[in-house]
Structure 1
Amino acid sequence: MRLAVAAVAALVLPLLLPERHLATFVLLTLAAAVTVGVSLLMGYAGQVSLGQASFSAIGAYTAGLLAVHGVPPVPALLAAPIVAAVAAVLIGFPLLRLRGHHLAFATLAVQLILLSLLAQAEWAGGAIGLQGIPRFSVGDFSLREDIGYAYLALLVLGIALLVSRNVVSSRPGRGLRAAATSEIAAAASGVPVGGYRLVVFALSASFAGLAGGVYAFYLGYLAPGSFPVLLSIEYVVMAVVGGLGTLAGPVVGAVLIVVLVQVLNTLGTMPGMPDYAPSVLSYAVYALLLVGCVLFLPRGVVPALRAVADRGVARRTGAG
């Protein structure tokens, strides 16, 4: 019932939002789709990635380059998650042998290398960027208004949530949860920990690649600066704040962070504020949110709200 209500609310919301807020809604929804993969990777597979934006970049450039060179938008968009997943398998095969902060730094290094390569690659537009990406279209129908991209972004988020839900409830999902708790015990029970983690790594990359593909068609322009390291950190903060190992957590975390960033950007650009105010405020808020979550909401917002609701139900049941 709650899932149906949430789905209806998500479908109605773009119709109620003012035109000036639809762009924020599109970017927020795409960020939530990427964060679903981060939550799946960190919460269930127990792996930390600080380079998730690199897979968004791979998906975006895949879709953008194919579209610029005459490939229809639909197959170009479908290629984005596939190429991102293949890249994740090639990268993850050696990197997933690492653990903890070693893996986090390795994924961060991958993103830095990718951004450097894109900045030097003339075929990808170099530092100037890839221009002339057409609008997304299906046959003669073309998406030219923000509300159309809002529903396309919602479709991407819905796919990410549905696939993640099926994975979590499957036998591999149970094996991943066991591995996140104790890798040695899971391996002793016959769980192919390495194989499962590689699959989840590729799956989370495919979510990021698909979101990146929609992002490319929405903006019509790509540059290496569109996928900074800070963006990968944002995804991790969204997942942690919302609640790792949950499906609602990434959505809640994305809403909180994106809305907060918009508010801070508005404050930072007010008359009298220095030019560096928006970036400084953003870094400070990420730090404060992480510290606050670790101290007061170690499991995230969604698990905390569920715990409060469960206590309320228990009290009413006991009183009855």
Structure 2
Amino acid sequence: MNAPRMVGFVLGGLVAVAALLAPLVLSGSQLTIYVLLGTAAMVTVGVSLLMGYAGQVSLGQAAFYAIGGYTAGLMGVHGLPTVAGLVCAPLVAGLLAALVGIPIMRLRGHYLAFATLAFQLILLSVVGQLEVLGGDIGLQGIPRLGIGSAQLSNTQSYAWLTWAATALVLLIARNVITSRAGRGLRALATSEIAAESSGVPVARYKLAVFALSAAFAGLAGGIYAFFLGYIAPGSFPVLLSFEFVVMAVVGGLGTIWGPVVGAAVITVLVQVLNSLGTEPGMPPYASSVFSYAVYALLLVLTLLFLPRGLLPTATEWVRRALRGREPPAAGDRPAAAVPTGDASGSPAR
């Protein structure tokens, strides 16, 4: 096993151990942020699959986040098993994405981005008018997630559940990318015409990855609904979709672990700025202004100085450092110079 791959395995193991131990040392609001970070990471992995690997732009992932949340919450409120609600959340989100994707995935570029954004606006408007979903007031009294009398009663339990679900999402995404379908996705991201001429079923792959990314968002939405016990249209604003895109770009589009890094950076930074915006003397709109400013500034700085994202850039730096320490292989050593002439440049006799 070469050094970069060994470093990757070691870092992956350290991250897994840290994710398991973090709920034991965090408390109160820190645990809440940790749970929200995990749900954001799940959605952002889907965004990275869709935009980074398949080259399809979506500005409406928060819509599927909301669909998952309302599916799980509605089933729980009406007395159905909460575990069934959590299972149905990604299934319903993925199915609706497949239905919506049949017409809109024929679009490309900014037309596709506007179509997904319009879908979220329409969804929020409809949800706000339906009394069965609580209307503008929202869906209240969502029960705790559990099986029978065994329920997740504290934030620590939800933290472990959230990151177990995040690990599952990362595993699925990795298996997709390393499969034949993953190679097809990378091909259509480069050129849909060339991919189709090479035998890649472009339309089917685009629809499949759109539905899969929506299922990831639906799973995160289901956990979010059970964790908070209350959701409303205001819980899934349009800004949230842009936040997921910024997380994916900052962490590294077209990577598996990049979205987790981006979600961690953005989530922590937003929480710090929200705390700053609520300080005495700050205007009531300070938090919103800070959020918009940070998203715009991070996006611009990343595209200018780290166009590949934080994780790919850091990985490349580590590889260069390790490569510089390794002695050159026998085949890489330069051959001895063969004299072809004297010092004046005249050919040898």
Same fold (TM over 0.5): yes
Query: Among 289, 296, 320, which residue is 2:305 paired with?
Result: 296
Q: Which residue of 1 aligns with 2:229?
A: 220
Give the superposition deviation at 1:318: 4.6
Q: Which residue of 2 aligns with 1:208?
A: 217
Q: Which residue of 2 aligns with 1:5?
A: 14
Give the superposition deviation at 1:319: 7.7
Give the superposition deviation at 1:131: 0.7
Q: Which residue of 2 aligns with 1:159?
A: 168
2:87 counterpart of 1:78: yes
| TM-score, structure 2 normalization | 0.90
Q: Which residue of 1 aligns with 2:142?
A: 133
Q: Which residue of 2 aligns with 1:48?
A: 57
Give the superposition deviation at 1:253: 0.1
2:228 counterpart of 1:233: no
Give the superposition deviation at 1:138: 1.7
* Amino acid paired to 1:175: G
**Per-residue CA shift, 1:78-107, capped at 9, x if unaligned?**
000000000000111100000111100100
Q: Aligned residues: percent identity?
A: 64
2:179 counterpart of 1:173: no
- Alpha-carbon separation, structure 2, partners of 1:267 and 1:58: 32
Query: Among 244, 251, 255, which residue is 1:246 paired with?
Result: 255
* Amino acid paired to 2:303: V
- Alpha-carbon separation, structure 2, partners of 1:130 and 1:33: 23
**Per-residue CA shift, 1:171-230, capped at 9, x if unaligned?**
000111111112111111100011011111000000000110011101111100000000
2:160 counterpart of 1:120: no
The alignment of Structure 1 onto Structure 2 pairs a total of residues equal to: 320
- Alpha-carbon separation, structure 1, partners of 2:311 and 2:173: 17
- Alpha-carbon separation, structure 2, partners of 1:209 and 1:142: 21
* Amino acid paired to 2:205: Y
- Alpha-carbon separation, structure 1, partners of 2:292 and 2:327: 45
**Per-residue CA shift, 1:138-157, capped at 9, x if unaligned?**
22211110001101111211
2:270 counterpart of 1:286: no
* Structure 2: segments with no counterpart, 5+ residues: 1-8, 330-349
- Alpha-carbon separation, structure 1, partners of 2:296 and 2:289: 11
- Alpha-carbon separation, structure 2, partners of 1:9 and 1:296: 29
Give the superposition deviation at 1:271: 1.0
Q: Which residue of 2 aligns with 1:310?
A: 319
**Per-residue CA shift, 1:248-282, capped at 9, x if unaligned?**
10000000000000110111111111111110011
2:192 counterpart of 1:183: yes
- After the TM superposition, which segments of 4 or more aligned residues of structure 1 sit over 6 Å from their partners? none
- Alpha-carbon separation, structure 2, partners of 1:309 and 1:64: 44
- Alpha-carbon separation, structure 2, partners of 1:103 and 1:79: 27
2:34 counterpart of 1:25: yes
- Alpha-carbon separation, structure 2, partners of 1:20 and 1:285: 22
2:107 counterpart of 1:88: no
Using the TM superposition, name which of 289-298 and 178-187 deviates more.
178-187
Secondary structure (helix, strand or coil) at the match of 1:118 reads helix
Structure having the higher Rg:
2
Secondary structure (helix, strand or coil) at the match of 2:58 reads coil
Q: Which residue of 1 aligns with 2:342?
A: none
Secondary structure (helix, strand or coil) at the match of 2:239 reads helix
Q: Which residue of 1 aligns with 2:5?
A: none
- Alpha-carbon separation, structure 2, partners of 1:67 and 1:265: 31
- Alpha-carbon separation, structure 2, partners of 1:70 and 1:142: 14
Q: Which residue of 1 aligns with 2:47?
A: 38
* Amino acid paired to 1:186: A
2:216 counterpart of 1:197: no
Q: Which residue of 2 aligns with 1:142?
A: 151
Query: Among 247, 256, 271, which residue is 2:265 paired with?
Result: 256
Secondary structure (helix, strand or coil) at the match of 1:150 reads helix
Instruction: Indicate the structure with greater helix content.
Output: 1
- Alpha-carbon separation, structure 2, partners of 1:199 and 1:155: 24
* Amino acid paired to 1:181: T
Secondary structure (helix, strand or coil) at the match of 2:244 reads helix
